[in-house]
Chains A and B, each alone.
Chain A
Amino acid sequence: MQAGNAIDAQEIYSLVSEIPDPEIPVITIQELGILRKVEFVNKTCIVTITPTYTACPAMGLLESQIKEVLKQYNIADVEVQLTYSPAWTTDWMNESAKKKLKDYGIAPPQHSSCSKFFATETVQCPRCNSKNTEMISRYGSTACKALYKCLMCKEPFEHFKCH
């Protein structure tokens, strides 16, 4: 935050926080942990984001969305920077974001359950809450999800992998 700027970094952070994730629009980039910080260096507003996976294809789109949102508030001098450190983790997702995922039909990641090498993760069905589920495929529609099916209600569903 700097004197002379009509809008401060905290306010800009709130504005860009509202941007939905391009692939899972029920949660925002802030809830997912992609948005890291907003600061002013001289007159330039620097928005720092981190990719979920190294090759996350949404980074370019997010950069233009961030600039688009800020343009509406007459903030044109914007730089979007990419950082790899600290490495993104699903542990940054809070309970409210996890609930939104579940309501959307995606089984949310469990906290820190990814530390063991061959740990079999118990994934709860987001529809009927049964823990009697099985993995169909380690990979799904996006890098961050795997495909499961519920053996109780028979519905297939996506699981947001613990990462």
Chain B
Amino acid sequence: MTKQEALYKYCLRLGDNALILGHRLSEMCSKAPFLEEDLALTNFALDMIGRAQAILKYAAEVEGKGRNEDLIAYRREEKEYYNHLITELPNGDFAHVIARQLYVSAFEYLFYTELQKSSDATLAAIAAKTVKEVKYHLQHVADWTVRLGDGTEESHARMQKAINDLWMFTGELFEMDETDNLLLKEGVAIDLIPLKAAWEKNISEIIGDATLVSPAGSYMQTGSRKGIHTEYMGHILSEMQYLQRAYPDASW
């Protein structure tokens, strides 16, 4: 693997994480418990799709085959996507939407804080913008986690179930592969191993404030670094890619 190949793949991972979760959150439009939360979740989606656009545009430049961000986003096959499995899972109930966002935003806050130091100027610049947006996301979902966990009997039970159900998808956030290791030596990528302890500490504090019990399962589902996805990925892609597949190069 060359540095260029690794950087392309790394950008796909970061871009795909934002693209797929952004799409999932956009599905919440008109389905949140009340209007203000509808605004919040669709704003999360907007931030993520903006981030995906910036990163996938850079991926296209790194690839150097004359493609643009739209072709990268909408014309790849399932196994060429490297988003974390947690981002593609269906929304489920509101507690699941919040739990997934808590795990992801807490990770992204630490990740993009570090990525600001990347030797790659484009990634560092995108990280500096992203970290501000993600911080606001995290404040919002941490607040919701406490509100639901320390809420009614039913909201508590649902929130506990959601954090338990999604726990096994958190291990792969910190997986280092050949791509990470190669780019880490170049100062481009960041070391995910030390982030894990900081993430666990932050999560357990929020979960504690929410009067919930930290999940303890040790089995972790992985696959996304190799492009292996859950059964939900094909469905999300068929919806996202329909227009570009049916009418290639459509524009307006």
Contact = CB atoms under 8 A, between A and B. Distances in A.
Nearest to B53: A55
B43 A143 contact: yes
A55 B49 contact: yes
Nearest to B139: A118
B101 interface: no
A84 B54 contact: yes
A100 interface: no
Interface stretch (A13-21, A71-79, A132-140): A132-140
B39 A53 contact: no
B197 to A, nearest CB: 18
Given A54-B47, A138-B140, A84 B125 contact: yes
B226 interface: no
Interface bracket on A: 20 to 34
Interface in B113-159: 121-122, 124-126, 128-130, 132-133, 135-136, 139-140
Interface string A123-154: 00000000000001111100100010000000
Given A143-B43, A147-B36, A84 B51 contact: no
A57 B49 CA distance: 11
A88 interface: yes
Nearest to B125: A85
Interface in A38-63: 51, 53-57
Contacts of B28: none
Contact of A139 (B43, B49, B51, B132): B43
A4 interface: no
Interface string B23-48: 00000000000001001100100111
A140 B39 contact: yes
Nearest to A147: B36
Contact of B133 (A54, A57, A117, A138): A54
B70 to A, nearest CB: 14
B192 to A, nearest CB: 22
Contacts, number: 66
B39 A137 contact: yes
* Residue in A83, A114, A136, A138 whose Cβ sees the most chain B Cβ within 10 Å: A138
B135 A117 contact: yes
Given A84-B54, A140-B39, A54 B139 contact: no
Contacts of B51: 54-55
* Residue in A54, A117, A137, A147 whose Cβ sees the most chain B Cβ within 10 Å: A54
Given A54-B126, A55-B51, A140-B39, 18 more contacts: A53-B129, A54-B50, A54-B51, A54-B54, A54-B133, A55-B53, A84-B128, A85-B128, A87-B125, A87-B132, A114-B132, A137-B36, A137-B39, A137-B40, A138-B36, A138-B139, A161-B136, A163-B132
26 contacts: A51-B50, A51-B129, A53-B129, A54-B47, A54-B50, A54-B129, A54-B133, A55-B46, A55-B47, A83-B125, A84-B54, A84-B122, A84-B125, A84-B128, A85-B124, A85-B128, A87-B128, A117-B139, A118-B139, A138-B40, A138-B139, A138-B140, A139-B36, A143-B43, A161-B136, A163-B132
Interface of B: 36, 39-40, 43, 46-51, 53-54, 121-122, 124-126, 128-130, 132-133, 135-136, 139-140
Interface of A: 51, 53-57, 83-88, 114, 117-118, 136-140, 143, 147, 161, 163
